[in-house]
Amino acid sequence: MKNKELAALFSRIGDALEIKGEMGFKIIAYRRAARILEDLTDDIEKIARENKLQEIPGIGSGIAKKIEEYLKTGQMEKYKEALSEIPESLLNLLEIQNLGARTLHLAHNELGVKNLEDLKRVIKNGSLVKLYGLGEKKAENIKKGIEIYEQAQERIPIFEAVNIVEEVIEYLQKCSYISRLSPAGSLRRMKETVGDIDILAAGTNGAQIIRYFTQFPGVSRVLAAGETKGSAMISTQRSERQVDLRIVDESEYGAALQYFTGSKAHNIKLRSMAREKGFKISEYGVFRGDKKIAGYDEEEVYKTLNLPLIPPELREDRGEIELALQGHPPQVVNYSDIKGDLHIHSRYSDGSLSLREIAELAKELGYEYIAICDHSQSAKYAYGLTSERLKQQIKEIDQLNQELKEIKLLKGTEVDILQDGQLDFPNEILKELDIVVAAIHSGFKKNVTERILRAMDNPFVTIIAHPSGRLISKREGYDVDLEKILQEAKSKQKALELNAYYDRLDLNEFYLKKAKEQGIKISIGTDAHYAGGFQMMRFGVGIARRAWLEKKDILNCLSHNQLIRTKNI
């Protein structure tokens, strides 16, 4: 699929045009096209073949032609032209805070700045300051921006961001000046990684609130502390992360929360709609003329546009507004719809809990059932179970199920897909189980696609675990053709896993949405190895919501009876 390639090209064209000084809406159009391509679930080549490029909102005749040109020739004239005078090394500098396209344009044209080294030099030798519109302070701010750019942290995994935000919020709740409080930004939208951590508070005495915030025990450095905004570095065991707190008046809280939650694209769409209706939306409220007509809570804001409240996870301008306008927004899955966890490890293999402890925890979480899926014999590193030990485990599960009334343990395995595509247990064992989760754990570059396809031939396999094999902060994933896996899952009626472990979140939202569109069932499993791991379910549900999955798309939203009766997923 060339979707991402094209997205990158258009994004760079946008950047280059901006630096060239071609201010205006072309730049916005190219960047919008880039984002649309980035999000697109369908193969752009297929759409082009069917002559339907211009049916995509945001793609007009100009960009359609450029897409066709690239698909045909592997080149794009406009890209070459836009990049002809602007070196790539200059484009990257747009990421530096306090340094925008206009200044970069000047520095490039007047001083011949081509890269970071050049930029540092012209700051040091004082030539940047002499440019029209620049001064000492601006140069100083750009210098600070460069410092941050150079030590730029990678994005923050959602798991870590949520942990930090919850600690800070728990602390802030004790501040008597604060009346309402919420996480905002991409964290509230549950993106798999977030760039920064935003919190919104409503309150009366901004300066006092910010002072209280900066006294949070985890704060290692205060970056800014005014009356409406505070910003601090908070250190965790892993690293130092920036947390921003904004204070608004209580009457504006809803509009501010809507605004600071984003996404930017979603907000722009709403504001355009408001404008057409003769309203104006800002972070202070919805206005008709000078009269404020909404702002206290988010629901009000959406209502002025005849929209129901759109869940934060959906706010990406991927068609959610249009569907909501037609009166049927996606009825995405809720955490409370989850009836059980279909991927748990016990002490039998490399987990830390006994079967009884797992059952107790599952009961506390309100689950109906929980699937014990320990590793199979070839997974030596994880104390994989031999057939004999699996039989022993089956026996213990049967006994516990006799005894425990409020929770059902499901007999399962996370069986290795071996190098030749065979499964690590014979069918005589697999047929004794309620659930068979098949997974690649070795040979990541060896015919992974064929091996998974072969595993799906086995009638006892229920679910393919972590289908792409990626680890968000560590590795890319297997060499696997997920399109083929999706096709086969559809035809063989197998479920695919959404592994909810924070570093996996695999399948990702892109393929989850594709799977849903093809009618493939998804199983959300935490892959928990210890008690804390059970909590990962919320991230799985968050990503599922981002992919527009509904209750009916998810295997573990079925009741125990339904699940057991479902021979064919």
Partner DNA sequence: GCCGTTTTCGGCCCGACTGTTTTCAGTCG
Residues that bind DNA in the complex, under the rule CB under 7 A: 24-26, 28-30, 33, 54, 57-64, 78, 96-104, 132-139, 141, 145, 198, 228, 260, 264, 267-268, 271-272, 274-276, 280-284, 287
Task: Quote the least distance from Cβ 514 to DNA, whole Å.
Answer: 23
The Cα 436–Cα 164 span in angstroms is 36
Tokens linked to 131: 């440019």
Sheet holding 408-416, edge to edge: 340-344, 369-372, 408-416, 435-439, 463-464, 495-499, 522-525
Judged by beta carbon, residue 33 or residue 500, the one nearer DNA is 33
Q: How far is the CB of 280 from DNA (least distance, A)?
A: 4
Q: Considering beta carbons, is residue 78 or 189 the nearer one to DNA?
A: 78
Q: Which is closer to DNA, CB of 89 or CB of 228?
A: 228
> 470 and 477 in contact (C-beta within 8 Å)?
yes
Q: Which is nearer to DNA, 76 or 439 (CB)?
A: 76
Nearest to 438 by CA among 495, 479, 482: 495
Q: Provide the minimum distance between the beta carbon of 65 and DNA in the complex, in angstroms, as a whole number.
A: 8
Helix (H, G, I), strand (E, B) or coil at 238: coil
CB of 229 to DNA, least distance (A): 8
CA distances from 290 to 251, 293, 304 (A): 16, 9, 15
With respect to DNA, which residue has the nearer C-beta, 240 or 479? 240
Record the tokens describing residue 564, joined without a space.
Answer: 């057991």
Complex with DNA: residue 29 or 436, whichever CB lies closer:
29
CB nearer DNA, residue 282 or residue 401: 282
Instruction: Give the nearer residue to DNA in terms of CB position, either 270 or 440.
Output: 270
CB of 221 to DNA, least distance (A): 17
- The least distance separating DNA from the CB of residue 101, rounded to whole angstroms, comes to 5
Distance CA 488, CA 418 (A): 19
> Tokens 């890209």 sit at which residue?
79
CB of 269 to DNA, least distance (A): 8
Inter-CA distances, 357 with 79, 345, 560, Å: 59, 12, 20
And the tokens for 414? 């996370």
348, 563 contact by CB (below 8 A): no
Cβ closer to DNA: 182 or 378? 182
Count Cα atoms within 13 angstroms, Cβ side, for 41.
16
Looking at the Cβ atoms of 129 and 564, the one nearer to DNA is 129
562: helix, strand or coil: helix
Residue 181 or 549: the one with the smaller Cβ distance to DNA is 181
Smallest distance from DNA to CB 307, Å? 16
Cβ proximity to DNA: between 56 and 536 the closer is: 56
Least distance in angstroms from the C-beta of 33 to DNA? 7
Q: How far is the CB of 556 from DNA (least distance, A)?
A: 36
When the beta carbons of 112 and 133 are compared against DNA, the nearer one is: 133
Contacts of 207 (CB under 8 A, 6+ apart): 226, 227
Backbone angles phi, psi at 366, to 5 degrees: 85, 15
C-alpha to C-alpha distance for 545 and 311, rounded to whole angstroms = 9
Question: How many Å is the maximal CA-CA distance in the chain?
Answer: 82
Give the residue from 452, 492, 490, 489 showing the smallest Cα distance to 468. 452
SS3 string of 332-397? ECCHHHCCEEEEECCCCCCCCCCHHHHHHHHHHCCCCEEEECCEECCCHHHCCECHHHHHHHHHHH
- Cβ neighbors of 361 (< 8 A, separation 6 or more) are 353, 531, 534
Question: In angstroms, what is the minimal distance from the CB of 84 to DNA?
Answer: 15
CB of 188 to DNA, least distance (A): 13
DSSP three-state, residue 243: strand
CB of 296 to DNA, least distance (A): 17
CB under 8 Å to 437, separation ≥6 — which residues?
Answer: 342, 343, 371, 373, 412, 413, 414, 415, 462, 463, 464, 465, 497, 523, 525
Measure the CA–CA gap between 45 and 470, rounded to whole angstroms: 25
